Structure 1
């Protein structure tokens, strides 16, 4: 995780960003700390990446890389405003001794990649349509040695995979069908017949931008209906208020890069 010390909305690179509305940085820091404390309180270890001036979106640390079994596939951002974030993430992983592979293709880390180690022998789900180049899916497959399933996003409001789909445990997902092309919807139906299906209201509340440890599902307070759905599916919803981070187009998942050693 990376604290939002320098978080502002200075530019608009997704439909949620409004440069005319000021961000309350103190509130953003308070909400971020609540998320960090929630995760540590559930028994998780949180590594903190130092924020850098001039990179207001570093708080969305999920976008900086994607790791599977000790190998890290680095990010290469589409928009120049975020390009330097990839360097900071690479430095973190190298300092921690991970096997790091720098990408040749544009991709935005866990923003567009999700891993389910027990689904069909281990699958990577990968989004494209707005940020990540489809060529990065093939590159990730070569780097990680896991089959990669390409899913096309068709609604600009859900510009990253992690705004439209989330892993609930090692083999099942929740997703909003309307964010995906008809063909991708059919693929998801085939792969995950027991998925928790979200609606547009859930997705617009960033209810799919969640983090789950297989039992606890941490999601934003606005996503009350989504909380009920995951509870009915057998998980324990834990709500955290991240209203300020939503101003930049992100919520719980965007703020958390999951490390898979």
Structure 2
């Protein structure tokens, strides 16, 4: 059995005060199918209740009225606690691929600064590279980053340099798994859910080589959003869990807790998209001192 993840107990979430489907920038968004505000709030509250019941904590950021997708807090930026040789806290801000989402970063930057994070930008408006934090995970000492639909390959070099870490770059090609957090979910220090269909053949091999013990998802299983889950110790909060996946997770002694988020799936995201971990630590969860990119 692998050791429990050392991060994932403190989260930032965005209150769904203005969540709606106002445009279509992924295959799940349909302007004719709008989320119900009452159900949306109940599902969002249930995520917080699930996190707290598992021993986690949540901080809440208000949603901009002009930013309906801001509720998907994972994409606001990549926050890190300081580690050995690092003072304070740092947040790498996202530079969204689509202009409709770029206002979110302005509000996120102010929140991070108010909470004593130094902020770093991978790309400024019209400059640099697009980067969306839903494409990045700290795991086994490396920063694992998906690129293609949302994050640009050039961003990998910026991330490696700014954070002084090794970046494992994976090319995403599946239109329905446009962020890495839809096809990859670290479970503990040895195990992760992985959907090879999301990637080029070379990147799928690279990712499977990184995972000592993978729960390999079929395309159909991954499209249930089961990888878009969060792990708190041995508890996994999941939006859905196919029977085969549940059987393997329970055989590995994980407790599966289902929290329905069907209203948020209408916008293309589930539990991981709605939660941004605040407790990833440089020097503990990410090795520093090796600024390089490894990509198939």
- TM band (smaller chain): over 0.9
Q: Check the 8 A contact 1:170/1:214 in 2, yes or no.
A: no
Partner of 1:211: 230
Q: Distance in 1 between matches of 2:53 and 2:233?
A: 16
**Greater strand share, 1 or 2?**
2
Q: Distance in 1 between matches of 2:50 and 2:154?
A: 36
Q: Check the 8 A contact 1:131/1:159 in 2, yes or no.
A: yes
Query: Is 2:14 the counterpart of 1:2?
Result: yes
Structure 1 residues 23, 250: closer, same or farther in 2, change over 3 A?
same
TM superposition outliers: structure 1 runs of 4+ over 4 Å: 222-225
What SS does the corresponding residue of 1:187 show, helix, strand or coil?
A: helix
What SS does the corresponding residue of 2:144 show, helix, strand or coil?
A: strand
Partner of 1:112: 135
Deviations 1:104-128 (A, max 9, x none): 221111x100111xx2xx0111001
Instruction: Count residues in correspondence.
Output: 256
Q: Distance in 2 between matches of 1:36 and 1:224?
A: 25
Structure 2 residue corresponding to 1:39, chosen from 51, 54, 60: 51
Q: Distance in 1 between matches of 2:241 and 2:32?
A: 22
Query: How far off is 1:159 after superposition?
Result: 0.5
5+ residue gaps, structure 1, are none
**Greater helix share, 1 or 2?**
1
* Structure 1 range deviating more: 95-104 or 214-223: 214-223
Partner of 1:174: 193
Greater RCO (Cα-Cα under 8 Å, separation 6 or more):
2
Q: Check the 8 A contact 1:75/1:108 in 2, yes or no.
A: yes
Partner of 2:216: 197
* Structure 1 range deviating more: 202-211 or 68-77: 68-77
TM-score, reference length from structure 2: 0.83
Query: How far off is 1:137 after superposition?
Result: 1.0
Partner of 1:19: 31
Query: How far off is 1:173 after superposition?
Result: 1.8
Q: Distance in 2 between matches of 1:114 and 1:91?
A: 23
Q: Distance in 1 between matches of 2:243 and 2:75?
A: 25
Query: How far off is 1:239 after superposition?
Result: 0.8
Deviations 1:76-99 (A, max 9, x none): 111111000011111111100012
Deviations 1:139-190 (A, max 9, x none): 1111222210000111101111001111112443211111111101111222
Partner of 2:79: 67
Q: Distance in 2 between matches of 1:49 and 1:204?
A: 28
What SS does the corresponding residue of 2:59 show, helix, strand or coil?
A: coil
What SS does the corresponding residue of 1:115 show, helix, strand or coil?
A: strand
* Structure 1 range deviating more: 89-98 or 196-205: 196-205
Q: Distance in 1 between matches of 2:53 and 2:23?
A: 34
5+ residue gaps, structure 2, are 1-12, 82-88, 124-128, 282-296
TM-score, reference length from structure 1: 0.94
Q: Distance in 1 between matches of 2:119 and 2:227?
A: 28
Q: CA RMSD in A?
A: 1.4
Query: Is 2:185 the counterpart of 1:185?
Result: no
